[in-house]
Structure 1
């Protein structure tokens, strides 16, 4: 009798484990995490894309993962870049908060060296203060192949001993293979970007405007 009860409990535990595995296959809506603080010291030196092709970079990007930050709380995040006639870039970042689309509008210009993937992005209507000096690039494209993925990084020291570090992994589709993310984060470690600080962004079929 005792052996039979043990076997039933073991089968139940296995079934629950399988259900848990299935539920965890997709990114949970509110994944538990403890955001890591930026490492002490100055901003690290990170590589940026050379011979940057702005035209190829335009279009829609889906946010796959990001560093924790105080100005993003939603899911289903997209970034849309289009070119203005004057050569600057229209930036529309959209997230879903409480079931509603929440866009923010801004613009971007290339940095001092237009051949590098460094841009100055500004959101005039955002309550978030600009922590970098005027004209200082705050959107650094660390890596991209233009058609699949991009990694963006930003770091600033607005006050002594107060470092702000942001990063986003973007993709042309709402999801990327986990194996690719692991390899990318391993490479980012050598690029002085801490891959442990990324948290996943929900991009499931409940997201509006999702590309299937």
Structure 2
């Protein structure tokens, strides 16, 4: 194998590990023609019921997200339990809508580090609300292009309850397929023994 191929393989592996996402060949799919999103209707408690591979959540179970919108900005509080120690944890983030009713959000993980560092932390970046009915489910999507050859993406399926009815999963998977995403990349999030 040529040194160019080794370099390309090393770069792809490094990029995938750094972003901790699921790498794939090609560029991110276009997220045009997404429905408008009324951020205030997302207010309240949500639970992660499915997700694509995300290294920073491998040790987590019982993941919940509380969304508190204020205009085009929403405060997100993520709660979880550690799978190994069973200890509880919390993360904070701020999501800002790009425009009125835009399905695109800019998420910044909060912390004590400076703003430029927080912007590149795992989890910070652009997110799309792929589909939601506000009362039962929401699908969140993020994708980063890595050069022209690869992209790394994340998908989260959120539900108002710890379990999501199969009838809503059909709608979710149809929306994913419509936007060029495969539902077989999703795995169930452990929502057992969360009390």
Between Structure 1 and Structure 2, which shows a larger proportion of strand residues? 2
Q: 1:39 to 1:141 in 2, by over 3 A?
A: same
> Among 88, 91, 99, which residue is 1:101 paired with?
88
Whether 2:191 is the aligned partner of 1:207: answer: no
The runs of 5 or more residues in structure 2 that have no matched partner are: 1-20
Task: Give the match's secondary structure for 1:71.
Answer: helix
In structure 2, what is the equivalent of residue 149 of structure 1? 137
State which structure, 1 or 2, has the greater radius of gyration over its C-alpha atoms. 1
Q: What aligned pairs does 1:9-28 form with structure 2 within 5 A after superposition?
A: none
Check whether the contact 1:48–1:140 (CA below 8 A) recurs between aligned residues.
Answer: no
8 Å contact 2:72–2:100 — kept in the other structure? Answer: no
Partner of 2:54: 69
State the partner residue of 1:172. Answer: 160
Q: TM-score, normalised by structure 1?
A: 0.69
The root-mean-square deviation of aligned C-alpha atoms, in Å, is 2.8
SS of the equivalent of 1:39 reads strand
What's the TM-score once normalised by structure 2's chain length?
0.74
Greater displacement, 41-50 / 169-178: 41-50
User: Which residue is equivalent to 2:12?
Assistant: none
Q: CA 1:156–1:78 in 2, change beyond 3 Å: closer, same or farther?
A: same
Equivalent residue runs for 1:48-67 within 5 Å: 49-67=34-52
Comparing 86-95 with 187-196, greater Cα deviation is found at 86-95
Q: Tell me the equivalent position of 1:115.
A: 101
